[in-house]
Structure 1
Amino acid sequence: MTKAQPLAMNYDPRQLSDEELVQRAHTELFHITRAYEELMRRYQRTLFNVCARYLGNDRDADDVCQEVMLKVLYGLKNFEGKSKFKTWLYSITYNECITQYRKERRKRRLLDALSLDPLEEASEEKAPVINDKGGLDRWLVHVNQIDREILVLRFVAELEFQEIADIMHMGLSATKMRYKRALDKLREKFSGIAET
């Protein structure tokens, strides 16, 4: 094993790959945050879109994005690079979205239990409604939570099936099967709309 060369302190983070930025973050954090900031800049828009589509609203998506960025900041020094940075980032994002979704569901159940209006209580038990902005958002409300997560990771985060399987702790074939079934269900529901 060769000894790692010392990293030059004068560099343009935009010119480096994710792996090079991770390596720099290992040596720089917490005193210098240039590499970390570039990594977050690269993924912040997609990160927000993933969260917004999981959770159905921008407020919760903002909160989760902030939490993810903090976890990345504090976890980056320990990131071993066994997977791509992108996969690790979306794994954290997925877990934070699930935590937020469960928290909101518990809150909604409490409000339902306190509600005096039985009709309102019954309507609140439905899955969270994603604002109909067209495109993928319109489709996602018609699949269950796990299939929604697979579709978001595939179409929004643009991850490979193996990466999705790793993040969701599922087998590769199970992930592909759920993805195919979800698309089949959507094709059936929206017959006449071509898959993009």
Structure 2
Amino acid sequence: MALDAGRQDGHDSGTTPDEIDELARRAQAGDADALEAVLAAIRPRTLNVCRGVLPYTPDAEDACQEALLNIATKIGSWGGRGRFTTWTHVVAVNSSRTTYRRMKNQATAYDPQEHNPLSERPDPRTTSVIAGTRLDLLEAMETIEKDHPQYVEPLLLRDVYGLPYDEIAELVGVPLGTVKAQIHHGRKLARPLLRGDG
């Protein structure tokens, strides 16, 4: 499966949303060529979604690869009610958060006594995936998720990606009023956790 299909420059493939939906339906029915085509068509958009959470390019590309793999293996779970691209948006958001968690767990604390004490800290733009992330936002979402997991996905979809309330309600499978309430409460919880400086 050519998960690297498509350009990495973030431009759309030229495939219309209707064509993508049709390719996805064919892929659900077992058409391998349609699956390859739909992955190529959605890759630029998926990478852009991942960049919204992980602006350090190699990290965003890792998350994009994970998202494309998840889309390919779970394409049967797309219900076909909304746009396939909207469903993939959620998969990309979740893959970005999973990638962030994995990298955070793998990161080791910098100890100048153990590492070369005469050198400066490594440049985070080239060496640290964690330093290149929207750390305060991701940490806030991790904190909120511990006690209020139902708020995280709607809040990210609305405030980071700007999806309309009705699309979010359809994606998460709850009534519109509930989604609006979840986003409102999520914002109240997130505000004190976000850094106000900078």
Confirm or deny a common fold (TM above 0.5): yes
By how many angstroms is 1:74 displaced? 2.5
Corresponding residue number in structure 2 for 1:99: 98
Output one character per residue of 1:107-157: Cα deviation in whole Å (capped at 9) or x when no partner.
Answer: 11xx21x73549999xx9xx94447xxxxxxxx565454299767634664
- Aligned-residue identity in percent: 24
Name stretches of at least 5 consecutive residues in structure 1 with no aligned partner. Answer: 1-12, 132-139, 191-196
Return the alpha-carbon distance in structure 1 between the equivalents of residues 46 and 103 of structure 2.
Answer: 20
Aligned residues: 158
Name stretches of at least 5 consecutive residues in structure 2 with no aligned partner. Answer: 1-13, 145-151
Return the alpha-carbon distance in structure 2 between the equivalents of residues 64 and 158 of structure 1.
Answer: 20
Alignment of 1:115 onto 2:84: no
Return the alpha-carbon distance in structure 2 between the equivalents of residues 150 and 58 of structure 1.
Answer: 25
Amino acid corresponding to residue 67 of structure 1 in structure 2: E
Corresponding residue number in structure 2 for 1:90: 89
CA contact (8 A) 1:154 1:161 kept: yes
Normalised by the length of structure 2, the TM-score is 0.55
CA distance 1:145–1:185, shift in 2 (3 Å) = closer
The 5-angstrom pairing of residues 1-196 of structure 1 reads 14=15, 17=18, 18-30=20-32, 32-33=33-34, 36-38=36-38, 40-41=40-41, 43-108=42-107, 111-112=108-109, 115-117=111-113, 128-130=130-132, 143=137, 144-146=139-141, 153-154=157-158, 157-164=161-168, 166=171, 171-172=178-179, 173-179=181-187
CA distance 1:177–1:94, shift in 2 (3 Å) = same
Corresponding residue number in structure 2 for 1:10: none
By how many angstroms is 1:164 displaced? 4.3
CA distance 1:40–1:180, shift in 2 (3 Å) = farther
Aligned Cα root-mean-square deviation (Å)? 4.4
Return the alpha-carbon distance in structure 2 between the equivalents of residues 104 and 56 of structure 1.
Answer: 14
CA contact (8 A) 2:23 2:37 kept: no
Normalised by the length of structure 1, the TM-score is 0.56
CA contact (8 A) 2:47 2:64 kept: yes
By how many angstroms is 1:104 displaced? 0.9
Q: Secondary structure at the match of 1:80?
A: coil
